């Protein structure tokens, strides 16, 4: 099973690097959204520090939505999904492999770029570190929850819009705790509680999201 899991991850990464334009679209969207706010609001440092966590997290959430529609679409079109459903390997494990590949493609670049963009908002080094750690814990949850929405809307017209409508409300806790961790650090309260909640959400998502996505894929395939 591990070899199959590794093959799924490697396959999706290889296909993604063959279409580098899709990779850059997500990252460029994130950079543009985060960078526009300082230009629009002005150079008021206190205001920028106050709004920075929310803006970075909202931009990361919206950026992750861009690639969710394609998570299973190609496999559904070319018949690969049928082969995955017939595989002796548990479908939930295969789904987890595809979700991890999706995060490596679309989520990890946001994690690495987030603190760099946070410098525009004059965030302290401690706040930037918490922002990095929060994104590292929270962005995989966005991919895991988004996979459920992508599976439920597979093959439907305007699936991208439906995915956003399904996924965005479910990701609100991640947004709250992720932005709250940076705000708590900036105010001197400590971010341990917020980061612990993000870690707990990640663990629960790792366990339940692949199972729910596998069930949704079987329903959509029928």
Q: How many helices (H) and strands (E) does the chain have?
A: 11, 0
Domain, as residue range, for 106: 2-221
Tell me the whole-structure pTM to 2 decimals: 0.88
Give the pLDDT confidence score for residue 158 in this predicted structure.
65
Domain count, the chain: 1
Give the pLDDT confidence score for residue 186 in this predicted structure.
83
Give the pLDDT confidence score for residue 188 in this predicted structure.
79
* Phi, psi for residue 98 in degrees, rounded to 5: -70, -35
Task: Provide the residue-wise pLDDT of the chain in tens; the chain has 222 residues.
Answer: 778 888 888 888 888 887 777 778 888 899 999 988 888 887 788 888 888 888 999 999 988 888 787 788 777 777 777 787 887 888 888 889 889 998 998 889 999 998 888 888 888 888 899 999 999 999 999 999 988 988 888 767 666 677 778 888 888 999 999 999 998 888 878 888 899 999 999 999 999 999 999 898 888 776
Distance CA 210, CA 208 (A): 6
């Amino acid at each position: 099973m591990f070899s199959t899991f590794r093959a799924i991850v490697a396959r999706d990464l290889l296909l993604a690097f063959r279409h580098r334009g899709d990779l850059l679209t997500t990252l460029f969207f994130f950079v543009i959204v985060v960078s526009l706010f300082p230009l629009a609001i002005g150079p008021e440092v206190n205001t920028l520090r106050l709004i920075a966590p929310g803006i970075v997290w909202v931009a990361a959430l919206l950026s992750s939505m861009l690639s969710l529609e394609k998570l299973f679409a190609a496999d559904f079109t070319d018949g690969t999904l049928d082969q995955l459903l017939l595989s002796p390997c548990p479908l939930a494990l295969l789904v987890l492999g595809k979700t991890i590949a999706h995060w490596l493609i679309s989520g990890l670049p946001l994690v690495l770029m987030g603190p760099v963009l946070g410098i525009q908002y004059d965030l302290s080094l401690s706040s930037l570190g918490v922002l990095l750690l929060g994104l590292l814990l929270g962005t995989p949850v966005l991919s895991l929850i988004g996979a459920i929405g992508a599976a439920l809307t597979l093959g439907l017209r305007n699936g991208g819009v439906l995915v956003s409508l399904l996924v965005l409300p479910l990701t609100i806790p991640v947004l709250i705790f992720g932005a709250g961790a940076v705000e708590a650090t900036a105010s001197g309260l400590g971010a341990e509680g917020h980061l612990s909640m993000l870690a707990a959400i990640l663990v629960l998502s790792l366990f339940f999201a692949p199972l729910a996505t596998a069930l949704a894929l079987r329903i959509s395939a029928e």
